Structure 1
């Protein structure tokens, strides 16, 4: 193929020198956590213009290396005309430009502890994962609360009573952990395709105490759980990760992504509270575990920042 920077054809122009693509109005900052010693990268977008008197809402999302550009562009395109309130976007990731490196690093920060026996019994392999590379979630939550949020408050005027946290897969598990153990830490929680299956569903150990707090009127968070409707239906793409479709189906059945998300959403949605508590469940019927993410981000932003927020379980088609 000819070099487009040096040649042209009769059907097209000479393109000139290529340039790096940037996200308008965005910056990133690297720091080393004093709590964990791990290096993080914060991808941040601050709205143009003056903040409201109480400060901008803040939207935090995990897996920032892969998610930030999507969130920032949706906000940039939708906020002016589509009923989304301007907000400070904070995507928490790692100090690397390699997405696979970031995905490996997340395993420690976004998971509760897993035993060697449980990992060995999994019906699928997670290459390179050992028990000592799991279980850092509670420390990571401290990093968010004690280091990242104060840094953001110094960088931009944010409203401490109107902040959202979103995560997908293990990130969704992390959101549930914060919800169950620190329900007043954020106003809004978006758990996308949460890995409830992780470590024999240990995350659910905190559910009952959370339920009691909601029904006693002690906390009233807003919660959205979403999942792709095809997350338990492997397609031909699953053969890139599994030897046979039977193995892929066994893995999907073990994780029970759709069943677990729906069941938890139903339980939390049935709680009785007269204090503004909201719990919605959305099933994106035609999406899988990876393809659901853009739709989940769009719906999560609407749930968190929309002027008019619908309530009640939904099947998105």
Structure 2
């Protein structure tokens, strides 16, 4: 069973999967004097949370914390999942979030098909249901979800221009992501976007070194217009870095221009 405290707002079938969509609109504005509470006026930018069954609550908590400090604009949070947690067969993250199949995971390599579904099926449905602002489109993920978010960014015409990548699994496919970055950089010099990169200091050495390598390459051959806020979280491992990663990432992605 999924662990999110919210029930899905709707479902959307595609790719042989019945995707579960969790939705939380912006919270009401804080009371000021005698003024009444009201939701911020739309349209709202969307933050799409991958692994929504298990991680949407962490994104909601991060937004609530930052909103209490008035550190965020109004955002529509959308979690996408499977109605099933990681270990259940209905959860297809190993297919949807990975760029290539690997030994032991032959179902991998569905990232491009999943990205096409997000762009051509999910986003029109969100536009139909909610007053969304398409100037800023954000995607947030942790581990394999972060790998997918980065895979979606390093495309010739990326759909998402805000990316929150917490503890990304860059190792997948013998670092296939790094090859994608190099290929894109050879074709174009500009990438107007903002990407947050974070990892716990007690994550595995390989996870930390892979992220260091990605950052070093982006610093050595930068894309014009690409902002890269980054963080390392003391005393946090691969699992408990999720909450601070989402909080720091949201704050960094939506900091004032």
RMSD between aligned residues = 2.4
Offset at 1:40?
Answer: 0.6
Matches within 5 A, 1:1-317: 28-33=9-14, 36-47=15-26, 48=28, 49-52=39-42, 55-96=43-84, 98=85, 100-101=87-88, 104-115=91-102, 118-119=103-104, 130-131=105-106, 133-181=107-155, 183-212=157-186, 215=189, 217=190, 219-232=191-204, 256-272=206-222, 276-307=225-256
Say if 1:161 and 1:102 are closer, same or farther in 2 by CA, change over 3 A.
farther
Offset at 1:188?
Answer: 0.8
Q: TM-score, normalised by structure 2?
A: 0.85
Say if 1:63 and 1:210 are closer, same or farther in 2 by CA, change over 3 A.
same
Question: Could you tell me how far apart the structure 2 residues matched to 1:83 and 1:112 are?
Answer: 34
Say if 1:134 and 1:27 are closer, same or farther in 2 by CA, change over 3 A.
closer
Q: Is the 8 A contact 1:111 1:136 kept in 2?
A: yes
Deviation string for 1:271-294 (max 9, x for gaps)? 4455x3202331113211001000
Offset at 1:30?
Answer: 1.6
Question: Could you tell me how far apart the structure 2 residues matched to 1:305 and 1:41 are?
Answer: 26
Q: Is the 8 A contact 2:95 2:109 kept in 1?
A: yes
Say if 1:203 and 1:277 are closer, same or farther in 2 by CA, change over 3 A.
closer
Structure with higher strand content? 2
Deviation string for 1:97-149 (max 9, x for gaps)? x553278421111112224xx33xxxxxxxxxx41x22211111111111111
Indicate the SS of the match to 1:101.
coil
Instruction: Identify which of structures 1 and 2 has the higher relative contact order when contacts are C-alpha pairs closer than 8 Å and 6+ apart.
Output: 2
Say if 1:160 and 1:182 are closer, same or farther in 2 by CA, change over 3 A.
farther
Q: TM-score, normalised by structure 1?
A: 0.70
Offset at 1:85?
Answer: 1.0
- Provide structure 1 residue ranges, at least 5 long, that are not aligned to the other structure: 1-20, 120-129, 233-252, 309-317
Q: Is the 8 A contact 1:112 1:137 kept in 2?
A: yes
Question: Could you tell me how far apart the structure 1 residues matched to 2:229 and 2:11 are?
Answer: 35
Indicate the SS of the match to 2:81.
strand
Say if 1:231 and 1:102 are closer, same or farther in 2 by CA, change over 3 A.
farther
